[in-house]
Amino acid sequence: MTTNNRVIPWGLLLSAWLLAAGSSLSAIYIGEVLGQAPCVLCWFQRAFMFPLAVILMVATVSSTGLGSWQYAVPIASIGWAIAVYHNLLYFGVIEKAIIPCGAGP
């Protein structure tokens, strides 16, 4: 695949999709099979992770999938920012009134 005279390997799309799909399936397994309720910040992270798996799957299987990066990168960036904030709260770097990953929402 090419875009603007640059070659972007299909393997990069495939590995990004596998990572997003694996993360989504893991979150579903932890919530539904293990019965652990996610906290509010976990819900926000999932809200950005689940559609990312679908977008990257479409990008991987379609011949014009490179255009999907313009949708995938902002979604992944917002989800990543929420994850960084969540980890900073969890490890006590940021003091906040809410308790992340407790008994659920």
Contacts of 37 (CB under 8 A, 6+ apart): 31, 103, 104, 105
pLDDT, tens digit, for every residue of 13-60? 888 889 999 999 999 998 889 988 888 888 899 899 999 999 888 888
Q: Which residues pair with 2 in a beta bridge?
A: 7
In terms of Cα–Cα distance, which of 27, 23, 24 is closest to 38? 27
Query: Coil, strand or helix: which one is 7?
Result: strand
Q: What pTM, to 2 d.p., does this model score?
A: 0.73
Q: Could you give the CA distance from residue 60 to residue 17 in angstroms, rounded to a whole number?
A: 7
